[in-house]
Every structure is written in C-alpha cells, then in structure tokens.
Amino acid sequence: DTGVSQDPRHKITKRGQNVTFRCDPISEHNRLYWYRQTLGQGPEFLTYFQNEAQLEKSRLLSDRFSAERPKGSFSTLEIQRTEQGDSAMYLCASRQREATSTDTQYFGPGTRLTVL
Amino acid sequence: GNSVTQMEGPVTLSEEAFLTINCTYTATGYPSLFWYVQYPGEGLQLLLKATKADDKGSNKGFEATYRKETTSFHLEKGSVQVSDSAVYFCALGTSGSRLTFGEGTQLTVNP
C-alpha cells in the first residue's frame, strides 16, 4: 500500500496528558497537511509543510499544538495538556508538487482521539 | 475568505433514484473544486475534481460541473446504489494551500 498512513488509528487519553500522532505521506509528495474533523463537520485545516518547512498555521492551532516534519518525510503532530475539546479525528494529507497545480490532496485514514 | 456551503442533510434515497447534492462556494481567485467521499470508518477519498470554469469532473457515475457564474459545483448521479451510502464533502482549494470543506452530506441509499 503506497497511500498515506497514520499511526495510531485510535488514541484514548486522559485530560492533561500529551499525545503524539504520526503521518507518513506518499513517498514522492513534498507537501503534507494536517486537518481536524469533529463529529458531523467537515475537516478544518490546521497546518501544512513543504518539505521540512512549516509554511502555514491555522488559528485553530493553539500553543498546545505543535507539528514537525524534520526530514521532509514523515510528520508528527503533538498535543500537550489535552482537553476534552481536542477529541476529534486528526487527518493527514499529502500532495505532489506538479507542473500544473491541481491541488489534489490524498488523505490518510485518520487518528481518532478521545480525551476523557 | 473562502467558504463552501453544502445542502443540508441527511439525504435518503431508494436504489436507482437520481441524486443531486448542492454545493456553492465563495472564493478569491480561481480555485479548484473537489468532491470527496467518506465511507463509514474510513478516511476521505477523492471522488472527482474540476480545476477551471465549465470543467466537468466525473467518476464512478458521479458528475459535477464547475459553474463560475453561479459559483456552484453540484454533485449528481443518475442511479444510486446501496454502496454509494457515505458522507460526501464538497471542497475548494487554491494553489499549494489548504482545502476548505463544506459540512458534508450524509447519503443513505435503501434497497
């Protein structure tokens, strides 16, 4: 399978704990995106990387959230001091930089976070 | 800013019925438009896309036409199947950056 992969698929944690999610993009894709999806809503953009550079962050990304892509390949999203409002599906997507930009992003299966 | 509005759901149809899910958008510049589908327990899958005005995207019997004059990208299928039951998301994207999604429309197709 050469699609976008995410780990873990499910995470249950207690309020106040830190959690870290991992995303492995499609190998030749240099752009990587994180989104958050709450129940009954569409995904909301959090941040994106081009190679190892984090180029844009949403206002949704509070100080408790940090994302990295140290070698321009996989990425991690860490949430510190989790709150119940952080419970959501965290989606990763990747995109190839093409000569003709069609903006197609390919999504992973997501990590479902439940904060108790 | 960019925004996407989808018709309110859920939508329930009988097998072989005609499907329309409305999508309108507000955007600066010239966005690309997408329909993504999310089956139960799975991630988002690209269903179809259109990158400029009057383009028609199509896949698996679904179609949508990029209408700049009405800022719309309605999804249609002539004959739905039970296996089409899923949540459908309309989205727009601008070069290199974020996708903006609608709230999604739950489709249930009954035998």
Beta strands in chain B (DSSP E): 3-6, 11-14, 19-21, 23-26, 32-38, 44-50, 56-59, 62-65, 75-77, 86-93, 99-101, 105-110
> Residue A99 pLDDT more than 50?
no
Mean pLDDT of B62-85: 97
Residue B103, chain A, CB below 8 Å: the answer is yes
Q: Which helix (H) or strand (E) holds A45?
A: strand A44-50
Question: Are B104 and A48 inside 8 Å of each other by CB?
Answer: no
- Using DSSP bridges, classify how beta strands B105-110 and B32-38 pair: parallel, antiparallel or unpaired: unpaired
Q: If pLDDT is split at 50, 70 and 90, which confidence band does A103 have?
A: low
Q: What is the DSSP letter of A84?
A: G
B-interface mutation test, from A1, A103, A107, most B Cβ less than 10 A away: A103
- Choose the mutation target among B35, B44, B89, B103 for the interface with A, i.e. most A CBs under 10 Å: B44
Q: Do B101 and A105 touch (CB under 8 A)?
A: no
| Three-class secondary structure of residue B84 per DSSP | helix
Q: Which of A23, A31, A19 is CA-nearest to residue A3?
A: A23
CA B101 to the chain's CA centroid = 10
How far apart CA B8 and CA B22 sit, in angstroms, is: 9
Place B95 in a pLDDT band, splitting at 50, 70 and 90. low
* A7-16 pLDDT per residue, tens: 999 999 999 9
Give the pLDDT confidence of A20-75 residue by residue, as tens digits. 999 999 988 889 999 999 988 999 999 999 999 999 899 888 899 999 999 889 99
Instruction: Please answer yes or no on whether B94 and A103 come within 8 Å at the CB atom.
Output: yes
Q: Does B32 touch chain A (CB under 8 A)?
A: yes
**A90 in reach of chain B (CB within 8 A):** no
> What is the C-alpha separation between B54 and A103, in angstroms, rounded?
18
CB atoms within 10 A of CB B61: 13
Interval B33-49: pLDDT, tens? 999 999 988 889 999 99
Q: Do B96 and A50 touch (CB under 8 A)?
A: yes
Nearest CA in chain B to A112: B41
Residue of chain A minimizing CA distance to B40: A109
Q: What is d(CA B62, CA B77) in angstroms, rounded to the nearest whole number? A: 5
